[in-house]
């Protein structure tokens, strides 16, 4: 029970504290064990950590393919790898890149809207120098691309977009197309400044020159497939693609396997004189037979005639093409055909 002090006791306690006869304990507030996460309503997070991780996996594949393609095209050691994947506003992205730079506006068909592939000027001029027969050192002075330099970079970017299509194939059949190339970020307003984007930063090294490539995808563009950017969908799609590939390989192998097949559609009994009178060019009418490739007529276990299905008037028929061998009397006990009953 809490003890209540009288007024005299309170006065004596205050006097003792002022005189220094009593030590006071330091006040320590209780520690707050709650985990508080700061949330900025001006730039809300629209991508979950799992979706960011999936985007990173996709572009790690893109980086490997681009490394191989650029190394072969430039005949130089090229290394591209994913440095980070972040979400930020479009305005923050525009402010973070230099001027001038190489900005490729990418149409993300069948997705709506555009994305941006930004290539560091050091990497741009190193690539151009290599393609023009230089050592790949680039230039120390940055300038806007000339018409010839821009044409050269268009060819490089188109090759890179082919790698992007393959990297996104597990999620969507993306068909990225190069729209235009700008050098001033202020002119590349593909979405409002406050719109959230996912930014894939790729560290790039061409020979001894190092720089960055940035791939900026607005949330509005990627929103229709945002549900597919999950680990469960990613791995299930990869497994399904592997199973489909195995089935296709099995089909290709089965196509080369020889299989003996015998199809017997019907049997009839006919007089010997009718069989003996059959000659090449004779027509025998049939019911319910499809017009198709020639088939054989066997007597017993021996093939005796080769026939071709056709039409006589409104009725189906077979024409005797040729006689395969002499017919022996004992073979005429049963006449077997691949069609329906003979009239």
Q: What is the pLDDT of residue 291?
A: 44
Instruction: Answer yes or no: do 227 and 276 share one domain.
Output: no
Per-residue pLDDT tens over the stretch 26-81 = 555 656 666 666 666 666 677 888 888 888 988 999 999 999 999 888 888 899 99
* Residue 156 included in any domain: yes
Domain-located, residue 325: yes
Average pLDDT over every residue of 128-134: 86
Within this chain, do residues 111 and 190 fall inside the same structural domain, yes or no? yes
Residues 159 and 57 occupy one common structural domain? yes
Q: Is a pLDDT exceeding 50 seen at residue 277?
A: yes
* Residue 15's pLDDT band (cuts 50, 70, 90): confident
| 191 and 81 assigned to the same domain | yes
Q: Which residue has the tokens 């305005």?
A: 91
- Is 92 inside any structural domain? yes
CB atoms within 10 A of CB 82: 20
Q: With a threshold of 0.85, does the pTM exceed it?
A: no
In a domain, 321, yes or no: yes
Which CATH number do you get for residue 229?
3.40.1550.10
CA dihedral 41, 43, 44, 47 (to 10 degrees): -170
If you average pLDDT over residues 129-146, what whole number do you get?
A: 79
**Coil, helix or strand at residue 319:** strand
Q: Which pLDDT score is estimated for 73?
A: 87
For residue 265, pLDDT over 60 is answered with: no
Q: Is there a single domain that holds both residue 226 and residue 273?
A: no
Say if residue 82 is in the same domain as residue 176: yes
Cα separation of 117 and 62, whole Å? 13
Average per-residue pLDDT in the chain?
A: 75
**Shared domain check, 225 and 330:** no
Q: Which domain holds residue 314?
A: 266-337
Three-class SS state of 267? strand
Per the domain annotation, does 14 fall within a domain?
no
Q: At what angle do helices 121-131 and 147-167 cross, to 10 degrees?
A: 110
Summarize pLDDT for 301-321 with one digit per residue, the tens.
667 677 776 666 666 666 777
Same domain assignment for residues 175 and 103: yes
Report helix, strand or coil for 249: helix
* 320 and 179 inside one domain: no
**Has residue 89 been placed in a domain?**
yes
Chosen domain end from 235, 253, 281: 235
CA geometry: angle 181, 186, 190, nearest 5 deg: 65
Domain count, the chain: 2
Q: Tell me whether residue 254 is in a domain.
A: no
Residue 28 counted as domain residue? no
User: Which helix (DSSP H) or strand (DSSP E) does residue 197 occupy?
Assistant: strand 196-206
* Pair 167, 128 in one domain: yes
Q: Are residues 92 and 204 in the same domain?
A: yes
* Together in a domain, 53 and 126: yes
Q: Among residues 217, 235, 253, which one ends one of the domains?
A: 235
Structure tokens at 58: 């996709």
């Amino acid at each position: 029970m809490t003890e209540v002090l009288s007024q005299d006791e309170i006065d004596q306690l205050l006097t003792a504290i002022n005189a220094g006869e009593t030590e006071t304990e330091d006040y320590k507030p209780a520690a707050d064990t709650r985990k508080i996460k700061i949330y900025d309503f001006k730039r809300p997070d629209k991508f979950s950590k799992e979706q960011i991780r999936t985007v990173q996996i996709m572009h790690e594949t893109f980086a490997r393919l681009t490394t191989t393609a650029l190394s072969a095209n430039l005949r130089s050691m090229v290394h591209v790898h994913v440095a980070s994947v972040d979400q930020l506003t479009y305005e923050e992205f525009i402010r973070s890149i230099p001027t001038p730079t190489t900005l490729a506006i990418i149409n993300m068909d069948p997705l709506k809207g555009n994305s941006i592939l930004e290539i560091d000027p050091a990497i741009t001029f190193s690539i151009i120098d290599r393609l023009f027969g230089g050592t790949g050192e680039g230039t120390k002075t940055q300038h806007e691309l000339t018409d010839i330099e821009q044409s050269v970079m268009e060819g490089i970017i188109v090759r890179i977009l082919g790698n992007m299509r393959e990297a996104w194939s597990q999620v969507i059949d993306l068909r990225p197309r190069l729209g235009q190339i700008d050098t001033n970020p202020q002119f590349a307003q593909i979405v409002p400044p406050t719109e959230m984007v996912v930014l894939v930063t790729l560290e790039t090294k061409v020979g001894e020159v190092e720089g960055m490539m940035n791939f900026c995808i607005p949330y509005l563009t990627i929103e229709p497939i945002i549900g597919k950017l999950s680990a469960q969908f990613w791995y299930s799609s990869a497994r399904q693609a592997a199973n489909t590939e195995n089935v296709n390989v099995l089909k290709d192998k089965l196509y080369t396997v020889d299989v003996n097949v015998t199809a017997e559609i019907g049997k009839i009994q006919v007089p010997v004189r009718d069989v003996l009178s059959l000659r090449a060019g004779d027509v025998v009418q049939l019911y319910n037979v499809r017009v198709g490739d020639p088939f054989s007529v066997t007597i017993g276990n021996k093939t005796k005639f080769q026939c071709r299905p056709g039409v006589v008037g409104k009725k189906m028929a077979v024409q005797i093409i040729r006689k395969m061998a002499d017919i022996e009397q004992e073979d005429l006990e049963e006449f077997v055909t691949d069609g329906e009953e003979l009239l």
